[in-house]
Structure 1
Amino acid sequence: MSVPSESPAPGPVRLVLTEVKYSLPEMLEELKTERASSTFAMEKLDQKEIAKLFKSKATRAKSKK
């Protein structure tokens, strides 16, 4: 019976990061447009509705004695 050879432990993974620059005035204009759109308003509404689902409700129950 042959014993499988052990491979050396893998070294640290190197990530290559690149810098991306965006124009601040363009980003601000895009935000203004998104906030004015109905899609953004619906997202805010959906978040409120979702929060309501997970909100803990106080329940009244008779204690067992």
Structure 2
Amino acid sequence: MNEQALLISAKEVEKEIKTALLNKDMSQKELTELIREKSTPQVNRAIKGDMSPKSIRIREKIYKELNIKK
């Protein structure tokens, strides 16, 4: 996958998560607490598409909590 495709994919994931947060009237800080993470900035990086193993694990928890099918 080239850089452009990765960027588009990351933007789609970010949009889907942010839409789910809006639909639940939930902030990223509240989401951070819900998934039992300590760092809102780390959760933000995960939402924006960071590909570190930690961000991938965080996204998996986000998908589960927000009922997002991936």
TM over 0.5: no
More helix by share: 2
Greater gyration radius: 1
What TM-score comes out, normalization by structure 2 length?
Answer: 0.28
